[in-house]
Amino acid sequence: MIAWRNAVSRLRTELEAKPRVRLGAWVVIGLLLVFGLTIQSDRLAEATAAYADESRLLAGAQTALERKDWPELLAAEQSIHGELAARFWQAETEGLAQAQLQQALRDVAERLDLRDTRILASLTRAVPDIPGVCQVQARFRSTYRRGDELRLLYALATFERKLVADRLELSRRNSAVSVMVSAYFIGLTAEACSEDGDPE
């Protein structure tokens, strides 16, 4: 305690005797005050921004709670979901999925009166970033007359459930058309959907 008093006394003497030391001390005190105010200002700005964000969230929640049309919105969402789900194919196993796709392609071939039709199963795989949806492919081959290829693409595009022509190949030498067709299924197990074959 005595040493502390002696140090304070010496410092006071130095400050009284030397104006430069006194000026330096005031500069240091001023810098410390500015530093402290800056920190406090930053904290205040962060708190203000956080309060503004929470106020916006609260206002949004209050607006949502005040809406009276939630039942109508839910009904519209369910209707859209039903329409989209109806465009997807449904099967419980990979075999059933391939059978459905191949039968659909046979129906298209019969409707268009295509000749020498062959349908080969291809890959089954999960669709990235869309849980519960599997891509099932089959290769469709047939001979064709001029214009059949356009009618075939139109029939695939307008099929009652979604069919996608991933690749079309035409051979003029033997008048053959080859189409890689995908159908998108829901209801397949994760095991059936995880197989990734060769699309070729």
pLDDT average, residue stretch 128-141: 86
CA torsion, points 95, 96, 99, 104, in degrees to nearest 10?
-150
Q: Are 106 and 146 contained in the same domain?
A: yes
Residue 56 lies in a domain: yes
Enter the pTM of the model: 0.54
Residue 40 lies in a domain: yes
- Closest by Cα among 172, 107, 104, 102 to 143: 172
Q: Are 110 and 154 contained in the same domain?
A: yes
pLDDT average, residue stretch 93-114: 90
Q: Are 142 and 177 in contact (CB under 8 A)?
A: yes
Alpha carbons 59 and 121: distance in angstroms, whole number? 55
Q: Are 25 and 99 contained in the same domain?
A: no
- Closest by Cα among 174, 165, 169, 119 to 145: 174
pLDDT-derived band at 79 (thresholds 50, 70, 90) equals low
Residue 151 lies in a domain: yes
Q: Are 60 and 98 contained in the same domain?
A: no
pLDDT-derived band at 198 (thresholds 50, 70, 90) equals very low
Domain span holding position 139:
89-193
pLDDT-derived band at 89 (thresholds 50, 70, 90) equals confident
Residue 180 lies in a domain: yes
